[in-house]
Amino acid sequence: MTSLTTFYLSGITGKEVFDADGDAIGRIKDLLVSAVPSGQADPNQQLVTGVKLKVGKKTGFYSFKTFRISKAREELNVTCTGLVELPGEEVDNGLLLVENILDKQIVDLNGRKLVRVNDVRLATLASGTFAIAVDIGIEGLLRRIGITGPIKRLLSFFKIKIPTRFILWDDVQAIDFSNLNIKLSKSYARLHTLHPSDLADIIEELGNKSSTSVFSALDEEKAADVLEELETDAQIHIVESLPVNKVADVFEKMPADEVADIIDELEDDKAELLLKEMEAESSQEVRELLEYDDDLVGSIMTTDYLSFTSTKTVEEVLNELRAKKPEAAELYNMFVTENDDRLIGTFNLRDLVVSEPEKTIGQIMKSEPVSLLDDQKTSAIAEVVSKYNLLAVPVIDQNEQLQGMVVVDDVVEDLISERRTRKRRK
Amino acid sequence: MTEIKFERKHLFRRLGIFLMILGPGIITGSVDNDAGGITTYSVAGAEYGYGLIWTLIPSFIVLIVIQEMNARMGIVTGKGLADLIRENAGIKITFFIFIGLLLSGIGNTTTEFAGVAGSMEVFGVTKYISVPIVAVMVWFLVVKGTYKIAERIFLIFSLSLLTYVISAIMGKPDWKEIGTAVIRPGVEVNTRSMTMIIALVGTTIAPWMQFYMQSTVIEKGLKMKHFRYTMADIIVGCIVTVVVAFFIIVACGSTLHPNGIVINEAKDAALALRPLAGHLASQVFAFGLFIASIFSATILPLATAYFVCEAFGFEAGIDKKWDEAKEFFILYTGIIVISVIIILIPNAPLIPISIWSQVINGILLPVVLISMMILINNKKIMGAYTNKPFSNVIGWGAVSILVILSLTLLILPLINR
């Protein structure tokens, strides 16, 4: 019926709506789109479903179905064939373009960062009106202030074009839902596609309220990965603003050394509360790590490591690994211990893969392994890691019993900064 | 099985919190006494003697109340003032505020470089050498990422502002007279004295500082439960500001005023002090001016570029690459370049420039303050931490006085014409 009409949110808000006879009905305050994505390819997730309309002195939500937007000579006209009130439930499930999107920060999923919305571009097709893109460019800014025309004319003298920047609606995630009652985990669904470190960067940049609500919408696994990646300040903010049981659940999914680092920064009673809430096994590991001073190897070692007896065969070990599905870091280096936990050798994934299945670990391991002492200063790690090219170094105590391992991922930042200061000193 | 032993760490943690939090207020307070401030205080002292010292008392109270609100907003929301204004005040007010902030940023930076030029001229270095060197140094210091270290060094250097105390005492002021002037304030109402008062208040409570204070608080990751440390920091910062201002006015009021010497720039004050209070007093004064100018010349362009980008949604940060944050780097570099060019023009109209940036400040300040008052009383934003009646009375009172003063400043020249 109608051909494609495109327009901007800034152009439609404040517009007067007319009925079939040409009488004014009210003024448009805001547009409602369905916020909950029902699937990636579903076009309905960007369909405009409702209008916030000011009729007389009252403001209410009405279904968009009876509205029509057309463009004649660059002028937008809005007509309505009759007001149909929108059920409250549909309002709750929607996203208000002016209130939740315009001027707010949203996540650009492709650029993996926060951007500020200057305007929203919409289009009317035969099947309805859709939000198609958000405008984050300078042109959108000027349009909102109402000086695009003069500036464009001025710049055309110098043959300069005002830069335009749009992001497709599919590639953005709204952040601010503060006024709506919708379930957050559903509305932040698109954030799950982001890498934990990108998510952490975004959460760090958000305000206090939004960062907490985005974080609490993540499932425990993802939340654990993200919490690990956050800066200390942000970690503390998140931990202190979420309920203790939720934090304890997330902590249980994290390596004990990371948890110990966070707990070390908390107030004593909060720390104790969290440790009590965690499962006994996990909290015990954390407590042990907390006993080490900050500058000792023990404070940054992880207690998640794999150790085997020397009599196991390669095949048995491989089967165990398949069943256990350990984290990548645990496979950097695996250890061989005697019955009393004394470390006698190490082997890595390559050693396993290239060996005959029936060989024993004792035959393929490297004996007299390089190791660190748990009460050694952390400054010793750098030398060991770079000298022996190790991804993970076993940590033993005075009795040569295996206590944990230091993973290169955890020390790489210290290594880099140490190198820098050394360079500067030269 | 083991209870963690926390006690050992307790003392260090307390100390750590104190050192960590002692910062935003003191830094902001030190940046506050920039070249523009020193100039204004010197001129006020030379022209009115101790007559306008009393203005420091209301300024002090308003300064504390405003900074407390900034700190509270920063801690509760975790958002910068620019963000909050953009999200709540609408695009047109945002545009007005930030274009104003940009213009006054350029004006103020120009004043800082004028301070560098003037103070080095006291030591016999021409501005054509001192200003470009300082500008390039400042640019590199910030862009090459050593900004945090620079900030700390400057903070220690800013102790040199206390040298004004020495300058003042060398001028052998009459303390009894000062006391009387503070207790029994008196001003003749005319255009000149009104302009002076507005300039004094405007330079003490500069609009961009509200933004600066709030973002520093966020950067430090402060918490509401440590608010009394933050409050101590703010009060110390405000005392530093006011004490330095007091001694500058006294230094100039006790030496220049009785001799009827009229000055236009802080440099004039330094030069005029020489025959009256001795060589050393003059050089101490110039050194203080130099340090204060560089300190603010480092922070001002950076902060201005940052807040404009924050409000308009451009990416910002010195750790970003040129392509990632083009607008930010163009703004930052542009502010410095324009300011340096203005200073280096022979016979540049420095006095009109500094007056005009004061005027922009004067118009901007009430707008920013009104936005702040509305934001901080919004339950949706501040939750349980909205303003108490006391802060509201002082806040709105300050806003009304500032609006009246600014309007007077704008209207008086028209009437007198």
Of B79, B91, B380, the CB nearest to A144: B91
Q: Alpha-carbon distance B302 to B143, whole Å?
A: 10
For residues A37 and B92, the model is more confident at B92
For residues A139 and A198, state if they share a domain.
no
Tell which residue, A162, A247, A420, A344, has the closest CA to residue B149. Answer: A420
Sign of the CA dihedral running A327, A329, A330, A334: positive
* Chain A residues within an 8 Å CB radius of B91: 103, 118, 141, 144-145
Which of A241, A258, A291 marks a domain boundary?
A: A291
For residues A392 and A282, state if they share a domain.
no
Q: Alpha-carbon distance B302 to B116, whole Å?
A: 18
Q: How confident is the model at residue B14 (pLDDT cuts 50, 70, 90)?
A: low
Mean pLDDT, residues B374-398 taken together: 89
Cα–Cα distances in angstroms (integers) from residue A110 to residues A38, A113, A209, in the given order = 20, 8, 24
CA distance B360 to chain A (A): 21
For residues A147 and A202, state if they share a domain.
no
State the count of interchain CB pairs (< 8 A) between A and B: 60
What tokens does A371 get?
A: 């190791």
Contact at CB, B76 and A208, closer than 8 angstroms: yes
B317 in contact with chain A, both atoms CB, cutoff 8 A: no
Q: How confident is the model at residue A44 (pLDDT cuts 50, 70, 90)?
A: low
A178 in contact with chain B, both atoms CB, cutoff 8 A: yes
Of A115, A211, A284, the CB nearest to B313: A115
For residues A314 and A282, state if they share a domain.
no
**A400 belongs to a structural domain:** yes
B18 in contact with chain A, both atoms CB, cutoff 8 A: no
- pLDDT value at position A219? 86
B330 in contact with chain A, both atoms CB, cutoff 8 A: no
For residues A325 and A243, state if they share a domain.
no
SS3 A166: strand
For residues B177 and A410, the model is more confident at B177
- pLDDT value at position A68? 86
CA distance B31 to chain A (A): 26
For residues A160 and B46, the model is more confident at B46
Q: Which residues pair with A94 in a beta bridge?
A: A34
A291 in contact with chain B, both atoms CB, cutoff 8 A: yes
SS3 B13: helix
For residues A147 and A246, state if they share a domain.
no
- Angle at CA of residue B148, ends B218 and B139, nearest 5°: 115
For residues A251 and A332, state if they share a domain.
no
Letter for the amino acid at B195? T
For residues A96 and A212, state if they share a domain.
no
- pLDDT value at position B373? 93
Note whether B39 and B111 are within 8 A (CB): yes
**A134 belongs to a structural domain:** yes
What tokens does A45 get?
A: 């997730």
- pLDDT value at position B132? 93
A381 in contact with chain B, both atoms CB, cutoff 8 A: no
Site from B3, B6, B216 to mutate, A interface, most A CB atoms within 10 angstroms: B6
**A374 belongs to a structural domain:** yes
Contact at CB, B4 and A145, closer than 8 angstroms: no
Which residue's structure tokens are 């004006």? B107
For residues A144 and A227, state if they share a domain.
no
For chain B, the structural domain boundaries read 30-412
Letter for the amino acid at B375? L
For residues A21 and A88, state if they share a domain.
yes
Q: Alpha-carbon distance B18 to A115, whole Å?
A: 35
SS3 A385: helix
Contact at CB, B221 and A236, closer than 8 angstroms: yes
Contact at CB, A287 and B2, closer than 8 angstroms: yes
Contact at CB, A284 and B380, closer than 8 angstroms: no
**A271 belongs to a structural domain:** yes
CA distance A108 to chain B (A): 13
Q: Alpha-carbon distance A38 to A372, whole Å?
A: 52
CB atoms within 10 A of CB B262: 11
For residues B310 and B415, the model is more confident at B310
Predicted confidence (pLDDT) at residue B315 exceeds the cutoff of 50: yes
Contact at CB, B83 and A136, closer than 8 angstroms: no
Mean pLDDT, residues B41-50 taken together: 88
For residues A158 and A30, state if they share a domain.
yes
**A19 belongs to a structural domain:** yes
A99 to chain B: nearest residue by CA?
Answer: B87
Residues A168-220 have pLDDT tens digits of 888 888 887 755 555 555 667 778 888 999 999 899 888 888 888 888 888 88
Contact at CB, B312 and A116, closer than 8 angstroms: yes
Of A103, A104, A206, the CB nearest to B91: A103
Predicted confidence (pLDDT) at residue B208 exceeds the cutoff of 50: yes
Contact at CB, A141 and B312, closer than 8 angstroms: yes
Q: How confident is the model at residue A322 (pLDDT cuts 50, 70, 90)?
A: very high
Please state which of the ranges B156-165, B178-187, B385-394 shows the lowest mean pLDDT: B156-165
**What is the CATH number that goes with domain B30-412?**
1.20.1740.10
Site from B1, B3, B87 to mutate, A interface, most A CB atoms within 10 angstroms: B87
**A11 belongs to a structural domain:** yes
For residues B119 and A339, the model is more confident at B119
Quote the percentage of chain B above a pLDDT of 90: 20
Which of A106, A139, A171 marks a domain boundary?
A: A171
Provide the domain limits for residue A379: 307-417
- pLDDT value at position B3? 40
Contact at CB, A116 and B86, closer than 8 angstroms: yes
Contact at CB, A178 and B380, closer than 8 angstroms: yes
- pLDDT value at position A319? 92
- pLDDT value at position B18? 52
Contact at CB, B91 and A141, closer than 8 angstroms: yes
Would you call A174 exposed, middle or buried from its count of C-beta atoms within 10 A (0-12, 13-18, 19+)?
A: buried
- pLDDT value at position B7? 44
For residues A237 and A317, state if they share a domain.
no
Please state which of the ranges A209-213, A344-348, B11-15 shows the lowest mean pLDDT: B11-15
- pLDDT value at position B339? 93
Quote the percentage of chain A above a pLDDT of 70: 91
- pLDDT value at position B147? 61
Instruction: Round to the nearest angstrom and report the end-to-end CA distance of chain B.
Output: 85
Mean pLDDT, residues A44-66 taken together: 85
Q: How do beta strands A366-367 and A343-347 pair?
A: antiparallel
* Chain B residues within an 8 Å CB radius of A178: 380
Q: Alpha-carbon distance A270 to A274, whole Å?
A: 6
Whole-model pTM over 0.80? no
Note whether A323 and A293 are within 8 A (CB): no
- pLDDT value at position B279? 80
Q: Alpha-carbon distance A66 to A163, whole Å?
A: 36
Contact at CB, B77 and A207, closer than 8 angstroms: yes
CB atoms within 10 A of CB B272: 21
- Tell me, what CATH number does A386's domain have? 3.10.580.10
Contact at CB, A206 and B78, closer than 8 angstroms: yes
Q: How confident is the model at residue A426 (pLDDT cuts 50, 70, 90)?
A: very low
* Chain B residues within an 8 Å CB radius of A288: 2
- Tell me, what CATH number does A215's domain have? 1.25.60.10
Q: What are phi and psi of A341, to 5 degrees?
A: 70, 10
Residues B112-143 have pLDDT tens digits of 999 999 899 888 888 899 999 999 988 887 77
Mean pLDDT of chain B: 83
- pLDDT value at position B201? 82
B315 in contact with chain A, both atoms CB, cutoff 8 A: yes
Mean pLDDT, residues B29-39 taken together: 83
**A214 belongs to a structural domain:** yes
How many domains does the structure of chain A reveal? Answer: 3
Predicted confidence (pLDDT) at residue B5 exceeds the cutoff of 90: no
A271 in contact with chain B, both atoms CB, cutoff 8 A: yes
CA distance B75 to chain A (A): 8
For residues B86 and A93, the model is more confident at B86
B313 in contact with chain A, both atoms CB, cutoff 8 A: yes
Quote the percentage of chain A above a pLDDT of 90: 10
Contact at CB, B315 and A144, closer than 8 angstroms: no
- pLDDT value at position B338? 94
Letter for the amino acid at B404? I
A288 in contact with chain B, both atoms CB, cutoff 8 A: yes
Q: How confident is the model at residue B298 (pLDDT cuts 50, 70, 90)?
A: confident
- pLDDT value at position B4? 42
Q: Which residues pair with A337 in a beta bridge?
A: A343
DSSP code at position A401: B
- Tell me, what CATH number does A28's domain have? 2.30.30.240
Would you call B8 exposed, middle or buried from its count of C-beta atoms within 10 A (0-12, 13-18, 19+)?
A: exposed
Residues B230-286 have pLDDT tens digits of 898 899 889 988 998 999 899 888 888 888 888 887 788 888 877 777 788 788 888
| DSSP letter string, B384-407 | GGPPPHHHHHHHHHHHHHHHHHHH
Residues B166-203 have pLDDT tens digits of 778 877 888 888 888 888 777 776 777 777 887 888 78
**A302 belongs to a structural domain:** no
Q: Alpha-carbon distance A144 to A102, whole Å?
A: 11
Q: How confident is the model at residue A20 (pLDDT cuts 50, 70, 90)?
A: confident
For residues A272 and B337, the model is more confident at B337
Provide long-range contacts, Cβ within 8 A and 24+ apart, for B196-199: B196/B40, B196/B43, B196/B44, B196/B47, B196/B48, B196/B52, B197/B52, B197/B55, B197/B405, B198/B358, B198/B362, B198/B405, B198/B406, B198/B408, B198/B409, B199/B40, B199/B44, B199/B358
Predicted confidence (pLDDT) at residue A424 exceeds the cutoff of 60: no
